Amino acid sequence: MIKVSIVGGTGYTGVELLRLLAGHPDVELSAITSRAESGRSVSDLFPNLRGHFDLQFSEPDVNQLSESDLVFFATPHGVAQAMVPDLLARGTKVIDLSADFRIKDIAVWEQWYGQSHACPEVVSEAVYGLPEINRDNIRKAQLIACPGCYPTSVLLGFLPLLREGLVAVDDLIASSASGASGAGRGASVNNLHTEVSDNFKAYGVSGHRHLPEIEQELAGLANGQVELTFVPHLLPIIRGIHSTLYSTLMAGKDDVDLQALYERYYTDEAFVDVMPGESYPQTRSVRGANICRIGVTRPQGKQKVVVMSVIDNLVKGASGQAVQNMNVLFGLPETRGLMAPPLLP
């Protein structure tokens, strides 16, 4: 059994991680921490987990956490930095669901997150945890930086095009829309039901924190710098991300069979489903599941390639991907504990 602990288990990614681990046959949850909820039972805060965990939230303690084989951090940015170096020094593996270790350029991270990085020396050790592009490195990692939700949908959508050098890299566009759970569990007027319901809006148009992360990883796929226009939107739903991606075919690439290309790239990937030709994915088709569904087309046969990529932002966009990383890290079947079908309706 893999002995795991969770730091910061009171948010949406924390409870989703608990839900997934409750059905994982190879995991023993030994501790879950929260300073605000210390002493409170997990099932008291999350009644859906009643009967699954007999645990109370506790104060985070490095000595206790280091007794685990793996520690998940489901915390806001900046929190994991205080404890990760000590845990790594004691030989404990870490999967961080925050943005603390995703961006390799420390100055860029500090610019976008508005604070000094507390352990910049550790960032170079972190492996970016998108198994579909980084599986071999994840197997050998001690620290895994779990990708953001928007980046996951965008990267998986653009991957085949960039790997094959089929599209211009100086004009990539991602128009992405997320459910309200992507904003977290904290109280906010903008996230009230009466503000979100019956509404659709863009936000972060001048710059979103996921932009440098996406550009960094797209550049790795393209073997060179890329230019991305990224516009996020808020959907009046709880879960789900729909990213519509636009790019332009390079000269001489008109004869490429995009459908065959995507099917070939993802044929062995358990968690990426390429839709049949002229069939497009919907957010409800991935709700509650660790699946990315992708549709690809060339409208009117012109030079623009349109890719539609959908995920559940709390599963493949966060906690499910974290469990997928854990499975790879510990040599388990990658699908272990993650094969429940999506919820419908």
The domain that contains 8 carries what CATH number? 3.40.50.720
The domain that contains 207 carries what CATH number? 3.30.360.10
User: What residues contact 255, with CB distance under 8 A and at least 6 apart?
Assistant: none
Tokens of 225: 């710098």
Please tell me whether residues 160 and 301 are part of one structural domain.
yes
Residue 238 covered by a domain: yes
Question: How many Å is the Cα radius of gyration of the chain?
Answer: 20
Residue 138 covered by a domain: no
Residue 21 covered by a domain: yes
Please tell me whether residues 83 and 220 are part of one structural domain.
no
Please tell me whether residues 194 and 255 are part of one structural domain.
yes
Please tell me whether residues 172 and 276 are part of one structural domain.
yes
Please tell me whether residues 164 and 247 are part of one structural domain.
yes
pLDDT digits (tens, 9 = 90+) for 87-102: 999 999 999 999 999 9
Please tell me whether residues 77 and 13 are part of one structural domain.
yes
Please tell me whether residues 181 and 120 are part of one structural domain.
no
Please tell me whether residues 173 and 303 are part of one structural domain.
yes
Rounded-to-integer distance, Cα 81 and Cα 151, Å: 21
Please tell me whether residues 86 and 183 are part of one structural domain.
no
Please tell me whether residues 53 and 160 are part of one structural domain.
no
Residue 331 covered by a domain: no
Q: What is the sign, positive or negative, of the torsion defined by CA atoms of 205, 118, 65, 213? A: positive
pLDDT digits (tens, 9 = 90+) for 255-302: 999 999 999 999 999 999 999 999 999 999 999 999 999 999 999 999
As for how many domains the chain has, the answer is 2
Rounded-to-integer distance, Cα 64 and Cα 33, Å: 11
Please tell me whether residues 224 and 293 are part of one structural domain.
yes
Please tell me whether residues 191 and 247 are part of one structural domain.
yes
Q: What is the mean pLDDT of each run of 10 residues along the chain (345 residues)?
A: 96 96 96 94 94 94 97 96 97 98 98 97 97 98 98 98 98 97 82 88 95 98 98 96 98 94 98 96 98 97 97 98 98 97 94
Consecutive H or E run containing 293: strand 292-297
pTM of structure = 0.96
* Structural domain boundaries, residue 18: 2-125
User: Strand pairing partners for 72?
Assistant: 6, 95
pLDDT digits (tens, 9 = 90+) for 293-335: 999 999 999 999 999 999 999 999 999 999 999 999 999 999 9
Residue 13 covered by a domain: yes
**So which residues are the catalytic ones?**
149
